[in-house]
Structure 1
Amino acid sequence: MSNNFRIEEDLLGKREVPDDVYYGVHTLRAIENFYISDRTINDVPEFIRGMVMVKKAAAMANKELHTIPRAIADTIIKACDEVLIHGKCMDQFPVDVFQGGAGTSLNMNTNEVLANIGLELMGHKKGEYEFLNPNDHLNKAQSTNDAYPTGFRIAVYNSITQLIKSVEYLKGTFDAKSDEFKDILKMGRTQLQDAVPMTLGQEFHAFAILMKEEIRNLHHTAQLVLEVNLGATAIGTGLNTAPGYQKLAVEKLAEVTGLPCVPAEDLIEATSDCGAYVMLHSALKRLAMKLSKICN
């Protein structure tokens, strides 16, 4: 970390921020206020990417609605691409994974990093927020309460997609072993005692079907997190957004992520509801239970 500092200011006053970091004063205070674990958002790259995708979609929507200057929107989009395409600043998210404020620490961390990347693209120095502001521009028409859960849902969906690929590979291996061991006889067991004969291939075929069911269940459950509340702002009323923003922002999010994201039926309900996570946790628990059964 650099021995040189820049001065940044928030409502609580001025603070020195190391000049070589891309986060700002809000992130600095979050590090101090919520030092809870030894794990930071830097350890969760899918979440970082999810948040940056939200910021890119919001900038695209704001650009189309003329709610921020076109040049500013274009700079934000380029800054997001620096992270998403080139991996720039993926180590600039030092806030703790456990944080107060429903994710405000990460939301502001993301806003500040992207603002400072953008400022450098514009030929300015980090921290010169009069030209590109983390709140007024990066967070335009957003609240932590819609940006954060939307970014999290994108991260969860992409992580589950990777898990499904692994389970599919495991199923394929079981299928191959089922054919390989089709002529090997063994004793089937009930109540931990030998019972009747079967083939080892039949046992591995049963394992393959177990995984087939879990793949189907994970696919179905993962769809639940694609219903997002982006555009809801603080409590779901869409306060401080332009007419048409909510629908357009979700359309842009689908474009940026390549996922079939859809707006929640009721934004107030969606802003406070965690039912999709409960269902997904249940699906993961079910998979873990069946894997444990195979191992035993």
Structure 2
Amino acid sequence: MATRKEHDFIGELEIDDSVYYGVQTFRAVENFQMTGRRLRDYPFFVKAFAQVKKAAALSNKEVGVLDPNIADYIAKACDKIIAGEYADQFVVDMIQGGAGTSTNMNLNEVISNIALELMGHKKGEYQFLHPNDHTNLGQSTNDTYPSSIKVAAYAKLSDLLKSMELLRDELLKKSDEFKDIIKMGRTELEDAVPTTLGNTFNAFASYIKSDIEKITYARETMSYLNLGATAIGTGINCHPNYKNVVDKKLSEITGVNFKQAPDFIAATQDTADFVFVSGALKTAAVRLSKIANDLRLMNSGPRCGLGEINLPQMQPGSSIMPGKVNPVICEVVGEACYEVIGNDTTIMLCSERGEFELNAFEPGIGYALFNSITILENAMKTLALKAVKNLTANKEACLKSVLGSVGIVTAFNPHLGYEKSASIAKEALATGKPVGEICLERGYLTKEQIDKILEPKNMLNPSMVR
């Protein structure tokens, strides 16, 4: 195996010459073996980091501190990474010490060695193009790493919003399809008053619509970057005009309007923007889990449960009970939501651990945030396409539950008062008789009056029936 020698201030190492990363990445791989999830498993993050590095090179070229030829080769190397090439070279664990320095150096080393080969040199000939002196010029992990997380998060949040819109639209379709199907409403798992199945699905759609608005708003916080802040926000070792150029270059590269954070020192040490985004994701996860569980309960049966809807049959549900089908899509969506909720705690704690001028726990934030966005995107899409899209309603079962419910006695309140209505409910529960029959036996109302009051559509009307 051919090798090359590389060194850092700790010492010299033999590196497999087939790889494009260098000594600092090699040390990180040995030191950090936490999750089994490597940078390459998050290609959108690699792409975002390469976009930041390209913007940095072109900005340094424009302000006159980087040789134009070197800058152009760095940009060409970044373009290859952005296009998905060299993905296997990004090998550091997503969870790492050093506030993301190992990830930054993994990018710097790979970009530099790709650029060296494009220039006609060998990998490791850093006298011509150096990972720190050129690829990392005017930068620090402390501005490029959080900025790259934000660039990646912005892109992934956009993907999530598309999945959310898909689910909202499928729920709205069912709301319209089921608008005339009367069903029993329930509070605390007990009979309440009638509603429609359409109302139920319209409420679900409203949850998702609200969360789309919240996440869209939260996504905007990802567009404020501290590029040019370098180590602690003062901009040391960076050309003073760089910060006025780099966001514009990055915006041109990504198509997203990235902007300077209003206070670089605050932005370098504070990670509350990620907490804010994670909070919006957690809210969406809580609501999505509620939707999935309600669908699961409405589908329960098929003969000994509520049986109000039929979820699509996705796979056999038991290794021992023939014919059993489980609501697996609703279940997996619930599990995914719990993961997002747990990640929110991780992000909160990592953010809280920021001390003085830097938050050293940003890798934990990025890892948890990317996982939450990805999981939630998949959960939204899965529920939309594998559960909601092709579910059907059991109209007869829904109506039967309304007509047989004691809860409809609530409709008598305006006519008989609470005490008489409660006594009817008590007898109905004790005897199993319909509430209308009891009311008629007691002579409280005529049959015509009872039929009019208990007409399902009248019970859905907010005006009192006389």
TM-score band, normalised by shorter chain: over 0.9
Aligned mates of 2:89, 2:201 — CA distance in 1: 46
Give 1:231-246 correspondences, 5 Å limit: 231-246=228-243
Report runs of 4+ in structure 1 exceeding 3 Å deviation: none
Which residue number in structure 1 is paired with residue 18 of structure 2? 20
TM-score (normalizing by structure 1): 0.97
Give 1:1-296 correspondences, 5 Å limit: 3-85=1-83, 87-296=84-293
1:124-158 deviations in whole A, cap 9, x for unaligned? 11111111110010000000000111001111111
Q: Which has the larger radius of gyration?
A: 2
Structure 2: stretches of 5+ with no match in the other structure = 294-466
SS for the counterpart of 2:92 is coil
Aligned mates of 2:98, 2:188 — CA distance in 1: 51
Per-residue deviation at 1:36? 2.2
Aligned mates of 1:216, 1:177 — CA distance in 2: 22
Cα RMSD (Å)? 0.9
| Relative contact order higher in (CA < 8 Å, ≥ 6 apart) | 1
Aligned mates of 2:196, 2:88 — CA distance in 1: 52
Aligned letter for 1:64? E
Per-residue deviation at 1:79? 0.6
Aligned mates of 1:193, 1:40 — CA distance in 2: 49
Aligned mates of 1:227, 1:208 — CA distance in 2: 31
TM-score (normalizing by structure 2): 0.62
Aligned mates of 2:170, 2:33 — CA distance in 1: 43
Structure 1: stretches of 5+ with no match in the other structure = none
Aligned mates of 1:240, 1:14 — CA distance in 2: 27
Count of matched residue positions in the alignment of Structure 1 and Structure 2? 293
Aligned mates of 1:66, 1:81 — CA distance in 2: 22
Aligned letter for 1:157? Y
